[in-house]
Amino acid sequence: MVDAYERAEEAAAALRTRFGVGSVDLAFVLGSGWSAAAGSLGTEIGQCPLEELPHFAAPVVLGHGGLLRLVRTSGGKVAAVFTGRTHLYEGRGVEPVVHGVRTAIAAGASMIVLTNGCGGLRREWGPGTPVLLSDHINLSGATPLVGPRFIDLTAVYSPRLRALAREVEPDLPEGVYVQFHGPQFETPAEVRMAGVLGGDLVGMSTTVEAVAARELDAEVLGISLVTNLAAGISPEPLNHHEVLEAGAAAAPRLTALLSGIAERL
């Protein structure tokens, strides 16, 4: 029986063949609101719809591009840029959620940049604020690990990569990201709970991908885009369109941030 890691190896081999590269060095996963930054990360080598690679499916969330782009950064690195991701709430299970990360690492990536759009618990972080992830709390009830795979998550989000990101934007704040399963937005009570537990941001992605990457010894940089104040903090009803609007408004800042990071990785 073919397991998840073998499926990632199969996809990685197809990626290398499709784009004519020996390996990739790093990967970016662009979440809601981040797609505008895709063209700023380097000189394009090529692109293809995700579903044309083994064991990938087209993203179903509005605002996710659905492409895998390979680019060469100004520093000479080959980067895989995923303009969409699979979410737990799609009901496909955990393996498809982390398949992109595992494929990138199987293709050679040693650094993974995970981005997302999220709700913020701090009023001083208004919509359009990028926040470095210092840690996370996984309330999704899911893990990509099966069996006795005990891994250390003391520093799941690399201090080295966070310091590098601050070379680009010195005043970037840091926060703790709390993942819920979704697809419903969090209730005000759930948001209060997240704050009591130590969370600063709430969303529906990222943590299981970070765990999958750390299992395979890749360094992880996590960056959230605050697209709205979370339920109970914002007086307005929540909807996905405000996520896209916040991403569009913040596009120049996000583009400068990710392109600066890509130059330094």
CA distances (Å), origin 197, targets 54, 72, 136, 160, 228: 39, 40, 11, 26, 20
Residues 102-135 have pLDDT tens digits of 999 999 999 999 999 999 999 999 999 999 999 9
Q: What is the pLDDT of residue 235?
A: 75
Mean pLDDT of 171-192: 96
Counting residues of the chain whose pLDDT is more than 70, the rounded percentage is 97
Residues 79-96 have pLDDT tens digits of 999 998 999 999 999 999
H, E, C per residue of the chain: CCCHHHHHHHHHHHHHHHHCCCCCCEEEECCCCCHHHHHHCCEEEEEEEHHHCCCCCCCCCCCCCCEEEEEECCCCCEEEEECCCCCHHHCCCHHHHHHHHHHHHHCCCCEEEEEEEEEECCCCCCCCEEEEEEEEEECCCCCCCCCCCCCCCCCCCCHHHHHHHHHHCCCCCEEEEEECCCCCCCCHHHHHHHHHHCCCEEECCCHHHHHHHHHCCCEEEEEEEEEEECECCECCCCCHHHHHHHHHHCHHHHHHHHHHHHHHC
Name which CATH class applies to 4-264.
Answer: alpha beta
pLDDT band, very low/low/confident/very high, at 32 (cuts 50, 70, 90) = confident
Residues 44-55 have pLDDT tens digits of 999 999 999 999
Average pLDDT score over the chain: 94
Domain residue ranges in the chain: 4-264
Tell me: pLDDT of 63 over 70: no
pTM: 0.96
Least confident range of 4-8, 60-64, 142-146: 60-64
Q: What is the pLDDT of residue 62?
A: 61
Q: What is the pLDDT of residue 33?
A: 84
Query: Hey, which residues are catalytic here?
Result: 186
Q: Are 106 and 8 in contact (CB under 8 A)?
A: yes
Q: What is the pLDDT of residue 197?
A: 98
Residues 192-213 have pLDDT tens digits of 999 999 999 999 999 999 999 9
Tell me: pLDDT of 12 over 80: yes
Q: Are 152 and 191 in contact (CB under 8 A)?
A: no
Least confident range of 11-20, 54-63, 169-178: 54-63
> 112 forms bridges with which residues in the sheet?
27, 220
Tell me: pLDDT of 156 over 70: yes
Tell me: pLDDT of 157 over 80: yes
pLDDT band, very low/low/confident/very high, at 261 (cuts 50, 70, 90) = very high
Tell me: pLDDT of 160 over 90: yes
Mean pLDDT of 99-103: 98
Nearest to 28 by CA among 220, 245, 240, 247: 220
